């Protein structure tokens, strides 16, 4: 796949609509073209300790962040016409659908591809697991800032360029 957008969401709590950060990397003609990152004011607007332990974000980090519709207005033109790629795409697609629903936005029917499923299929028993950091390392990407949405999207893009 030469043209796609890798996307990653972090959430504030157990609700998939609670997107608190998003990272997007676009690839055109097999080359990295654009990167986008933003904090997002989540809905519902609370953090739970479990998610904060994962990504380190708190309400203080997002208190002045724009709401999702404002952030998506910047992302939509970047990804127009591109398939979306995510590692464990069921989570990220679920977040996208949930937050569109939360804001009563019409969901455009994006096509998702999953680098985790591709890693399982292509790498089989070569790797000890198929977690993002493990597969990224195998593909030559050093994921030093795991669970930062942009770093995870970059890792996903590196995997997709190698496996898809």
- What's the whole-number mean pLDDT along residues 6-30? 98
1 pLDDT band (50/70/90 cuts)?
confident
Residue 8 host element (H or E): strand 4-11
Residues 6+ positions from 11 with CB-CB distance below 8 Å: 18, 19, 20, 42, 51, 95
Task: Give the C-alpha distances (Å, rounded to integers) separating 23 from 14, 36, 38, 40, 132.
Answer: 19, 6, 7, 11, 15
Task: For the chain, give every domain's residue range.
Answer: 4-163
- Distance (Å, rounded) from C-alpha 35 to C-alpha 5? 10
CATH topology of domain 4-163: Nucleotidyltransferase; domain 5 (3.30.420)
Q: What is the pLDDT of residues 30-74, one digit of tens each?
A: 999 999 999 999 999 999 999 999 999 999 999 999 999 999 999
Q: Are the CB atoms for 84 and 107 separated by under 8 Å?
A: no
- Distance (Å, rounded) from C-alpha 32 to C-alpha 133? 19
pTM of the model: 0.95
């Amino acid at each position: 796949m030469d043209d796609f957008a890798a996307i990653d969401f972090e959430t504030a709590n157990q609700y998939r609509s609670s997107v608190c950060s998003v990272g997007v990397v676009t690839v055109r003609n097999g080359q990295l073209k654009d990167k986008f990152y933003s904090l997002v004011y989540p809905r519902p607007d609370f953090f739970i300790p479990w998610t904060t332990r994962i990504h380190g974000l708190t309400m203080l980090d997002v208190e002045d962040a724009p709401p999702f519709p404002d952030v998506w207005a910047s992302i939509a033109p970047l990804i127009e016409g591109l398939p979306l790629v995510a590692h464990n795409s069921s989570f990220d697609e679920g977040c996208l659908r949930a937050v569109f629903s939360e804001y009563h936005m019409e969901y455009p029917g994006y096509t998702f591809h999953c680098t985790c499923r591709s890693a399982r299929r292509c790498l089989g028993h070569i790797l000890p697991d198929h977690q993002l950091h493990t597969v990224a390392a195998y593909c030559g990407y050093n994921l030093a800032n795991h669970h930062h949405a942009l770093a995870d999207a970059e890792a996903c893009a590196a995997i997709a360029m190698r496996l898809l």
